[in-house]
Amino acid sequence: MQSSVISHFFLASSIVLLTLLTGCQSTPANKSAILLAQQGNFESAKQAIRNDYSAAGKSKLLHYLELGMLNHLQGNYERSNALLSQAQEIIEAQYTISVVESAVALVSGPTYTTYAGKVYHRPLINLYKALNYNALANRAGPKKQQYLDSAMVEMRQLDTYLVKLKNDTGGYDETSDVEPTSDNLTNQIFKLLQPVFAPNDLLVNIDYKDDAFAHYISGMLFERSRELDSARIQYQRAANAFDNGFAEQYNLDNKRIIAQVYADLIRVMTDAGGYKSEIRQINKKIGKAVKADKKPLLNVIQNVGIGPQRKEFNLLLKADHDAKALVMTPILWGTDKERKAQMRWFQMLFADTSIFDMVQNYAMGDIGDVAMGALTKRIPLGPLWDDAEDIGLIQALEYGSRISVTYLEPLQQKIKSAEVWVNGQKAAELDKIYSVSLLTLQDALRNANSEIQVALTREIIKAITAQKTINATGLDQSFTGFAKFATSVVNAVTASADLRQWQSLPAQIYYAQIPLDKGTYEITLKTHLTTGRVIEQSAAVDVSDNITLWHTRTFLQQSRVTAPDSTFL
């Protein structure tokens, strides 16, 4: 009877465990919100955010980031800035995650910590706030200069942040180099795993080191306000960053973009006067003489699509006594495309060569013919095996442990080309100048090793704690396996990954600059998709200043969108 009960429990538990390991994921509220927004249903989108991300909870940063972006898209610029300012304060307050929260996360999971955002979120907050102020300036009349001055404050804050970012060497690894808690058992496990999961040398060139795009937009805004010295400095920093690796790292249209930035730098130097020698050096560097255009300039900024979504996949961790190693095996689930993406992600983390090619293919949405066999990652412990046995790690992994981590869905290149038409005539093609998707992908890969290391530590602690509890109960030998398997199921239930992200950011940003005489023009964007469909957006734009910015958001699920007047900056 006793044997029958145990057998039935093992069978039922196995079914439950399999279901949990391969369960389907629901769409996060902020992904649903931006999908609603692309259909123009902003109020429902904002309500979805309020329902799932409270203004005081662990995900409060997402409450303010998502609502700030939704109000920006809706043209509620003052409300957007108030919300984004709150988000900026939260990021600054959470710059260093508390030791207490780190300890709780190791036991309970990453979602028990306060979400602190990503290192590249701060520049984007400053940029969108500055764009909001410019929009308000165009509406304001007598308050115009006040709003332009506020935009300059954002640009100066941005510059301070980026200077610190460039000078803060090793800042990206700050959290992974700190022991998560003073608990002795946790530190033992963390140290056992740390040498194994030291950052892969092949990933060293995908750090977020600087932001050429942020410098460039900052230069435009300074030039618009006739702060020529500040504009020159920002254009110079943008040119250096684009030229020295930013364009290559983020797969941008580097030749035309770099040429454009240098042309803008020369124009500002010429306008300010006193830079003839520097201009000659730039012309020599780029191999041609650039003449500064004296016409007013229309700068078109096109925010395109929706960024990729963070998803969850699972790994099974077991101990191999013969090899004295831990073995991780990916547990693939979902559509064929999702399973291939999970396998490719696993391969990218532990590949020995050609990681750059793998990342570039992933960024193009090409995950190829991925081998779907029983790929495993072995973690040889060698002389550390005895230490692992002493702390109960090996015994605790008798039935295996589920490790839950994140991966990023493959990026999809849906745009073939994009054009700017002025009064019915094609004026320019837009170039990709910023890739939020690729930036997000590289950040995710950069942090993946430390994420797995922490997830392993957390699940091992849970397994060891459960094993100690079993030993303390004095259960006879016939029930030991029953209890150990039961705790494995419980641990599998509680394992989770942190899927939180700023979902309403665009996937890509495109740009074009067009010299025009002052006046009002019918500006049309024609976005050609790889499917053959063309999305058109039109607006009447008044070119009344020497520098004019016009920005819009292009959602790729709509066949035709008429841009509201509020997109004119």
The full DSSP string for 417-478 is EEEEEETTEEEEE-EEEEEHHHHHHHHHHHHHHHHHHHHHHHHHHHHHHHHHHHHHHT--HH
* Predicted local confidence at residue 34, as pLDDT: 94
Residue 12, amino acid: A
- Where do we find the tokens 């949990």? 20
Whether the pLDDT of residue 245 is over 90: the answer is no
Q: Does 285 map to a domain?
A: no
The overall pTM is greater than 0.85: no
* Predicted local confidence at residue 203, as pLDDT: 55
Q: Which residue has the higher pLDDT, 438 or 348?
A: 438
| Strand partners of residue 539 | 523
Q: Does 544 map to a domain?
A: no
- Class of residue 374 by CB neighbours under 10 A (exposed 0-12, middle 13-18, buried 19+): exposed
CA-based max dimension of the chain: 96
pLDDT tens per residue across span 433-472? 999 998 898 888 878 777 877 777 777 777 677 666 656 6
Q: Does 550 map to a domain?
A: no
- Where do we find the tokens 């699920």? 557
> What is the mean predicted confidence (pLDDT) over 58-62?
94
* Predicted local confidence at residue 490, as pLDDT: 40
Token pair recorded at residue 121: 């979120």
Whether the pLDDT of residue 406 is over 70: the answer is yes
> What is the mean predicted confidence (pLDDT) over 175-187?
50
Q: What is the 3-state secondary structure (H, E, C) of 168-189?
A: CCCHHHCCCCCCCCCCHHHHHH
Closest C-alpha among 279, 465, 437 to residue 360? 437
Average pLDDT, the chain: 78
pLDDT tens per residue across span 227-239? 999 999 999 999 9
Q: Does 142 map to a domain?
A: yes
Q: Does 541 map to a domain?
A: no
> What is the mean predicted confidence (pLDDT) over 507-527?
95
Under 8 Å between Cβ of 549 and 299: yes
Q: For the chain, first and last CA: distance in Å?
A: 77
Q: Which residue has the higher pLDDT, 13 or 413?
A: 413
* Predicted local confidence at residue 326, as pLDDT: 81
> What is the mean predicted confidence (pLDDT) over 339-357?
69
The backbone torsions φ and ψ at residue 428, rounded to the nearest 5 degrees and listed phi first, read: -165, 160
* Predicted local confidence at residue 138, as pLDDT: 74
The backbone torsions φ and ψ at residue 175, rounded to the nearest 5 degrees and listed phi first, read: -75, -30
pLDDT tens per residue across span 364-382? 565 555 444 447 777 778 8
Residue 284 banded pLDDT, cuts 50, 70, 90 = confident
Q: What percent of the chain has pLDDT over 90?
A: 38
- Where do we find the tokens 């790292």? 249
Token pair recorded at residue 183: 């608990």
User: In this structure, which long-range contacts are made by residues 4-12, counting pairs with CB atoms below 8 Å and at least 24 apart in sequence?
Assistant: 6/478, 6/479, 6/481, 6/482, 9/482, 9/485, 9/486, 10/482, 10/485
CA distance 425 to 514: 12
Under 8 Å between Cβ of 566 and 75: yes
- Looking at residue 245, the DSSP 8-state letter turns out to be I
Q: What percent of the chain has pLDDT over 70?
A: 73
> What is the mean predicted confidence (pLDDT) over 159-172?
70
Q: Is 102 left (phi over 0), alpha (psi -120 to 50) or beta?
A: alpha
Instruction: Say how far residue 228 (Cα) sits from the centre of its chain.
Output: 33
Q: Which residue has the higher pLDDT, 432 or 292?
A: 432
Number of neighbouring beta carbons within 10 Å of residue 22:
13
* Predicted local confidence at residue 361, as pLDDT: 56
Whether the pLDDT of residue 160 is over 80: the answer is yes
- Angle of helix 477-494 relative to helix 436-473, nearest 10 degrees, comes to 160
Whether the pLDDT of residue 193 is over 90: the answer is no
> What is the mean predicted confidence (pLDDT) over 184-202?
57
* Predicted local confidence at residue 544, as pLDDT: 81
Q: Does 563 map to a domain?
A: no
* Predicted local confidence at residue 290, as pLDDT: 72
Range from 201-215, 270-284, 516-530 carrying the lowest mean pLDDT: 201-215
Under 8 Å between Cβ of 544 and 516: no
Whether the pLDDT of residue 503 is over 70: the answer is yes
CA distance 254 to 260: 10
Residue 202 banded pLDDT, cuts 50, 70, 90 = very low
b/e per residue 287-307 (b: at least 16 CB within 10 A): eeebeeeeebbbbbbbbbbbb
Is the Cα dihedral 549, 554, 559, 561 positive or negative?
Answer: negative
Q: Does 547 map to a domain?
A: no
For residue 332, the enclosing domain spans 2-266+304-509
How are strands ordered across the β-sheet holding 508-515?
A: 431-435, 508-515, 297-304, 547-554
Residue 423 banded pLDDT, cuts 50, 70, 90 = very high
Q: 242 in helix, strand or coil?
A: helix
* Predicted local confidence at residue 324, as pLDDT: 85
Under 8 Å between Cβ of 506 and 436: yes
Closest C-alpha among 553, 522, 319 to residue 436? 553
* Predicted local confidence at residue 402, as pLDDT: 78
Q: 73: Cβ–Cβ under 8 A, 6 or more apart, which residues?
A: 37, 42, 504, 553
What is the tally of structural domains in the chain?
1
pLDDT tens per residue across span 109-149? 666 688 889 989 999 999 999 999 988 887 767 888 899 89
pLDDT tens per residue across span 95-113? 655 555 555 555 556 666 8
